[in-house]
Structure 1
């Protein structure tokens, strides 16, 4: 045996043949191979150790891995045959790949046949072999009910991973404006209502996640679909309209369930209106559902605002230093629970926060919600504005209970607004004028009287008119005169005409006393006319010439 070390490395030790007299050679070769393997391991090299071979008992084919042998053995017994052309494949993957190309038709395997038995039309209980046939039936016989087959739910086998929904995200303006597309799964693309119901939880999760990053969010949903209709020569025309909901505002710690249901109902209603217009459009498939979100920053009645210098010096204003959007609530509570010391502190009124009924009234409170707030709490509210150092009414209560009125000041500055409590309206309005004596002011016209009885008499007349902002002309602009001379257009001539009539009595029948009627006693008979032509061109002037008939 003249085997070299290289020969020993290239062949397995079992492939070497030694005689009984070659025991020393066998031991020497084994020691050298073991030392060689140790050197390779110490140097970090890959050791080429031959794996056991797996042989097929049917065709004696050899495989290096047991999983390859099992797949090969299954190919001897299970044949994946194409139902279109009859061609057989050893692997199911190759059959599916072939079926996509074979006559442009989808190959139906054993699992598809089992699922196809469950595809039933929910309108007439007709059964179909595949989803495409079911949808064609629904489109032809139930065009206004665009919902696909109602497949019964089957339990997923243990250990099987459920396929997730595909999402595509887009963002802009430092990720503050976001768009998330939800793609339909399986036969959801044929049933819009089912698709919306299944994505409701996903949409709500997106809104909640945006609320964690942005305190307030404005959002809306938009469904993109594909519609088809038949045209001439048996062809079909496709369109890709979209149906969107209105925009909603979501604040922290608020439920979005009602808004989501309303948004999805709006999408379905708009789509049905689109179909019912008589254009013969029918739903072909659902493309995606878009969820648009962006931050919402309310500009009305938000946080604390410093008073202008003229208002601060006037006195009679309680400005609550709030750090939230409830300045209206704190101002009303300050009027109901007045404090002698530090009335501007919010902490004085937090214990009374739940006394007022604020149902269906969102913060910041707008002027349109004042009447609703008065009915829910039996409180009268007046709101006054301040602009260009002038005070004017914005909202006046319609209630006649003037003894319990709460006057609020609505300030607007640099796009932000704020409510304050007017503790003493007469003092506040009096400081805005040149009068230094006490006066009693009408809230509707803001006119001051020296006595309360004069104000009461004035209210009987002033309450018959709506309030308004009074603006006086500036000095030098008190006279109205025509100034738009550039809008005048000269004409070549003007004709002035006059007609004359005689009044003649007429006879008529007696009207029915049981019914309303008009009795004509005189008729006018034309007796003459006259005209005159006036022009800047003297040749066109025609003097007046009376004519009689």
Structure 2
């Protein structure tokens, strides 16, 4: 990655020099030299213990110095950058850091790091085509937990392409589940388990879209109740279909 700035220094000073490199960028070709940043060390109250721990020491530094810091991690196996800590509002003095193997590095070009030409959301790392769209998105995203949105890779999704094989049916069911989100942290990956809590199901007559039946249920056993309901409706609807209606004769 070409965008992070690596200053040649002792490893336990990486946080201090990375922060200063972001707040007081060096000119010319000396961005990697620690001597470019040493004059500014006395202007800030840095953690007294080394190595700097995340997030405790980073958050204490922010409070003592009026500086905001975003911190991102790097997944070596999947080879992608993801947010670890993103502030709700950035101060005038703000830096973005990359944390690799407990070593802090300055992110000097956020878009280049994510290989994006769009307007990036620093909280979820999704890119938008217009700054206006990003601003609207941030109104909702700023209060959410930081996470990188990972989309399925090509070839890992399922799609239905057999519309020509479908046949019309006299009745069909439409249903929707509601879930309670339960946070889950697995090896640094943020997930939310969707625990089913309720469902609504309607039976629709295809000929005129009339809702024949409507079922609503709330409870922990909603999945079990839903499956039992489907079995019952299967038998009930088959009974409707197999009813032979008498022929009404009219005088010609």
TM-score > 0.5, shorter chain as reference = yes
Residue 421 of structure 1 pairs with residue 100 of structure 2: no
CA distance, structure 2, for counterparts of residue 462 and residue 376 of structure 1: 27
Structure 1: runs of 5 or more not aligned: 1-310, 480-549
1:410 corresponds to which residue?
99
Task: Output one character per residue of 1:394-453: Cα deviation in whole Å (capped at 9) or x when no partner.
Answer: 11124x2355421011112xxxx3211111212322x2x5xxxx3210011101122222
Higher normalized contact order (CA 8 Å, seq sep 6+, divided by chain length): 2
Residue from 351, 364, 369 that aligns with 2:51: 364
| Aligned-partner SS, 2:12 | coil
Residue 394 of structure 1 pairs with residue 84 of structure 2: yes
Change over 3 Å in CA distance of 1:439–1:477 after alignment to 2: closer
Task: Output one character per residue of 1:137-178: Cα deviation in whole Å (capped at 9) or x when no partner.
Answer: xxxxxxxxxxxxxxxxxxxxxxxxxxxxxxxxxxxxxxxxxx
Residue 459 of structure 1 pairs with residue 144 of structure 2: no
Q: Is the 8 A contact 2:5 2:108 kept in 1?
A: yes
Task: Output one character per residue of 1:46-95: Cα deviation in whole Å (capped at 9) or x when no partner.
Answer: xxxxxxxxxxxxxxxxxxxxxxxxxxxxxxxxxxxxxxxxxxxxxxxxxx
Residue from 11, 19, 22 that aligns with 1:332: 19
| Aligned-partner SS, 1:460 | helix
CA distance, structure 1, for counterparts of residue 34 and residue 21 of structure 2: 9
Structure 2: runs of 5 or more not aligned: 159-252
CA distance, structure 2, for counterparts of residue 397 and residue 358 of structure 1: 19
Report how far residue 477 of structure 1 moved: 4.6
Residue 443 of structure 1 pairs with residue 122 of structure 2: yes
Q: Is the 8 A contact 1:331 1:419 kept in 2?
A: yes
For normalisation by structure 2, the TM-score amounts to 0.56
Change over 3 Å in CA distance of 1:428–1:354 after alignment to 2: same
CA distance, structure 1, for counterparts of residue 92 and residue 42 of structure 2: 24
Change over 3 Å in CA distance of 1:470–1:401 after alignment to 2: closer
Q: Is the 8 A contact 2:107 2:113 kept in 1?
A: yes
CA distance, structure 1, for counterparts of residue 26 and residue 147 of structure 2: 33
After superposition, residues 469-508 of structure 1 pair within 5 angstroms as 469-475=148-154, 477-478=156-157
Q: Is the 8 A contact 2:119 2:130 kept in 1?
A: yes
| Aligned-partner SS, 2:112 | helix
CA distance, structure 2, for counterparts of residue 372 and residue 465 of structure 1: 22
CA distance, structure 1, for counterparts of residue 93 and residue 52 of structure 2: 21
After superposition, residues 26-37 of structure 1 pair within 5 angstroms as none
CA distance, structure 2, for counterparts of residue 382 and residue 454 of structure 1: 22
CA distance, structure 2, for counterparts of residue 449 and residue 403 of structure 1: 24
After superposition, residues 138-157 of structure 1 pair within 5 angstroms as none
CA distance, structure 1, for counterparts of residue 111 and residue 153 of structure 2: 26
Cα-Cα RMSD? 2.0
Q: Is the 8 A contact 1:371 1:397 kept in 2?
A: no
Q: Between Structure 1 and Structure 2, how many residues are aligned?
A: 154
Change over 3 Å in CA distance of 1:396–1:323 after alignment to 2: same
Which protein is richer in strand relative to its size? 2
Change over 3 Å in CA distance of 1:408–1:351 after alignment to 2: same
Larger Cα Rg: Structure 1 or Structure 2?
Answer: 1
Q: Is the 8 A contact 1:384 1:408 kept in 2?
A: yes
Report how far residue 460 of structure 1 moved: 0.3
Q: Is the 8 A contact 1:367 1:395 kept in 2?
A: no
2:9 corresponds to which residue?
322
CA distance, structure 2, for counterparts of residue 379 and residue 327 of structure 1: 17
Residue from 36, 41, 51 that aligns with 1:348: 36
CA distance, structure 2, for counterparts of residue 325 and residue 365 of structure 1: 7
